[in-house]
Chain A
Amino acid sequence: MEISKEVSYFDVVCIGGGGAGATAAVVASLHGCRVALLSKEPLGYGTTRLALGAMATVGMAEGDSPELLFEEMVEEGEHLNHEGLAKVLCQGAGESIAVLENFGHLFKRDRQGSPIAFKMGRHRFARTLVSPGEGISIGCALRSACARSGIEIFEETAATKLLVEHGEIRGVVCYDLVAGRLFVLETDHVVLATGGAGWLFFPHTDVAKSVTGDGYALALAAGCELVDMEQVIITPFGVAPHGSAYGFHCGIPVTEVPQGVLRDREGRTLIQDLREMNQAEMSMRMQEAVRRGQGTKEGCLLLDLSKTVRTEEGKKLHQVLKEGGFLEIVRFAQGQKAYDWEVPIEVSPTVHYNIGGIRTDENLHTSVRGLYAAGEVQGGVHGLSRLSSLALTDLFVFGKRAGEVIGKGRKKANRKSVAWNEAKEEMEKISSIAGRNGNYRPIDLIQRLQKLMWEEVGPSRSRTGLLKALAAFEEIEERSKDLSVARVKTYNQEVLDAIELRSMIKVARAIAGSSLAREECRGSHVRIDFPDEQEGLRLNSVIAFEKHGKVKTRMEENSRWKAQHR
């Protein structure tokens, strides 16, 4: 592997090639910054590209306003939303559509040519626009906008370490997967926009392969705090048994009231009325049923829609889903009869979104000077649960804000050199991975971690299970010092696996540790040993941080909200 001695300087380095990172990069570049954009996949891929393309805005329906959206967000988030950030999101939601359309995207329009807004999920107004090409055309628009802006693009390149000195950001150590090259970018602004951590739960997730929680791990190591990492949105109806296509939604929209009856493998009713239960509880019950041995051979349950499709309303829903192409995956994985809802669809809960994340102020600034976070990796905006179709809005509002805050606040280039020794040490560490001749392949350790995350830190959590997982993470970390890795230079996926494994262990600890700290069921977090909400924990957030290389947690009361809601 090659260690580059050449160091280039950029005003801003954005890490993450999805909606938030690309938007921050484009906007900062419009403000005259010299910008580098790192994307672990080709630019414009990742989970933004996998989105269904539903994006909430404000002001489409009469009577709607940012203030009303804010009220709904706070209600949904159980008053644990960061007030300033949530307000920024609501104020920016109207404009975010224009930001994305200006990149080259187009939302669906009616015959007269006006954008159409739908009422989705628990939104009280019709606010959601849909993308005819789903997330794909959004991903393409991101690529176009970056090509237009003249940003320096580093595709298939991972950030392995943030270089911080005296509490301020100085640079980033990068690994170019294609060339097998390590290099340093010097900068005084970094935007973390790496998305969530769904891949820690693979195959029980609908996210892209690159979503390994890198930003959380980089932030923890740099001294930042994470807020409410236990809050992971797990939706009940992922299409299940099908090799790599596991975990995608089976068309029963997560955003709508679920229909049908949930059965075990013998056909016995598990949940009769899906409408009466929230998705966190439903996912917990499903995992519990599988633990009791009621799951199918593949560890799934059966979503029976045969009665639904015989009702007028159900027939209509089926038609809409078919026309939208949302049931294609069911046909692909389970055949025509399941597609027609004549036989039950085999389903398993699936990890969809990380609500928790890096703690920032309303300018997206972390506790490290010059370090920002935007998009899913950032935490606290949505409190304990997110309204549907606000995830895309979040990317474009906060991506733009990060770019603007940096662009407007930037004084003339203030280049300070990185501590070369620290950078060199990191590069030598990564460089030594290729060709190691130990006992464990990175992918085996990753799979072991993923299994633990799903079984013990997934939909149904308990103290016993979480402690078991935390102990096992220690063992995985120990084994990760004894890796066996191919020596090849070009596109060495095993080296990337090893880098990702290091992040994943840290993030797994943050999620499991935060889950252990919150001894109650609240929001998207379910503890079977504490089946109720604890009044004393209302308005409390779990804060995760790193001390002497260990991930720790503490509870913190949101005093501002407490004063308002007494």
Chain B
Amino acid sequence: MMKEWEIRILRFDPEEDKKPHFTSYRVPENARATVLDALIGIYTEIDSGLAFRYSCRYHKCGLCSCMIDGHASPSCKVRLKDRMEVRPLTGLPVLRDLVTDRKFVFDFLSRYEIYLPEREDSRIPAKLTVTQTYHHLSGCRECLCCLSHCPKYDFTAAPFSGPYFYVKLAQLHFDPRDAIDRVAQAQTLSVSQCAICKKCYCPYGIKIFRHAIQPFLR
């Protein structure tokens, strides 16, 4: 008989449940599988009422992020083990089961004008010096795990905006075409609260404190 592992998933349906509860599933033992494989397997084979989000299946989109044994990570990056516990990202609004509401991300970009201003002259600038830091920061998958790792972040608590948003600001700060004072903007968004904490973490290896917080500290 095929050996099985157990995986516990925190379920929540806003229409039915007063509070979240764990459901336990048995999945085939497979040390090469990822947690995402297990979630897809549960959806297709056992329980298609389970809500979780994914798109690219391999390390690119950042949409499949969850708390896995207490650690925020895209579920496609974590190998499956026996008796794992999966919850939605902490600090973010939960819609149902493992799906968190991502709408606030786009709203934030619009509200705080976190984009390169429209330029009249739209030809490619022939020469443009781009730093390594810029390239490093452009590896952000927007998986939002940094928000769950952050000890301070809570989507209900404004104006502290959390590491993800500082990364977006830093991308612009290091963009040779951007002329807006992103330091001042980061200050308005309470970056100074991050001066001593240094607990930021990115599953894709972005050095958030060094490249997206320190440059904004006065």
Contact = CB atoms under 8 A, between A and B. Distances in A.
B138 A49 contact: no
A104 B101 CA distance: 25
Nearest to B172: A104
Given A143-B106, A209-B54, A486 B48 contact: yes
Nearest to A329: B58
A244 B116 contact: no
Interface stretch (A38-46, A268-276, A302-310): A38-46
B129 A136 contact: no
Q: Which 6 A-B pairs have the closest CB atoms?
A: A243-B37, A113-B127, A144-B115, A133-B138, A147-B109, A104-B116
Nearest to A132: B135
A443 B34 contact: no
Given A106-B128, A106-B130, A140-B142, A488 B109 contact: no
A492 B139 CA distance: 31
Nearest to A150: B110
Contacts of A443: 43-44, 48
A113 B129 contact: yes
Given A115-B124, A447-B44, A50 B175 contact: no
Contacts of A178: 95, 99, 101, 103
A178 B102 CA distance: 10
Contacts of B18: none
B189 interface: no
B57 interface: yes
A99 B124 CA distance: 9
B122 A155 contact: no
Q: Interface size for chain B: under 10, 10 to 19, 20 to 34, or 35 or more residues? A: 35 or more
Given A132-B138, A244-B34, A244-B58, 15 more contacts: A42-B105, A45-B63, A50-B60, A106-B175, A133-B138, A135-B60, A147-B114, A147-B115, A148-B116, A153-B106, A178-B95, A245-B58, A490-B51, A494-B48, A494-B49
Contacts of B56: 45, 49-50, 208-209
Contacts of A329: 58-59
Interface string B96-125: 110101110110011001111111001110
Contacts of A336: none
A488 B115 contact: no
Contact of A143 (B103, B109, B134): B109
Contact of B124 (A97, A140, A333, A444): A97
Contacts of B113: 147-148
A505 B85 CA distance: 37
Interface string B127-167: 11110001100111110000000000000000000000000
A109 interface: yes
Interface string A99-115: 10111101001001111
A132 B103 CA distance: 27
B15 A488 contact: yes
Contacts of B103: 155, 178
A493 B48 contact: yes
Nearest to B129: A113
A136 B101 contact: no
B29 interface: no
Interface of B is mostly: loop
A441 B48 contact: yes
A145 interface: yes
Contacts of A245: 34, 57-58, 76
B33 interface: yes
B106 A244 contact: no
Interface of B: 13-16, 30, 32-34, 36-37, 40, 43-44, 48-49, 51, 54-61, 63, 76, 95-97, 99, 101-103, 105-106, 109-110, 113-119, 122-124, 126-130, 134-135, 138-142, 171, 175
A298 B90 CA distance: 37
Given A45-B55, A106-B175, A114 B61 contact: no
A98 B139 contact: no
Interface in A505-552: none
B37 A144 contact: no
Interface string A485-497: 0101111111001
A104 B139 contact: no
Contacts of A41: 55, 61, 63
Interface string A178-216: 100000000000000000000000000000111000000
A242 interface: yes
Contact of B34 (A99, A243, A442): A243
Contact of A140 (B48, B55, B130, B140): B140
A46 B55 contact: yes
A237 interface: no
A114 B130 CA distance: 10
Contacts of A486: 48-49
Contacts of A431: none
Most buried by B among A109, A115, A246: A109
6 contacts: A49-B60, A137-B138, A148-B115, A148-B118, A244-B40, A328-B59
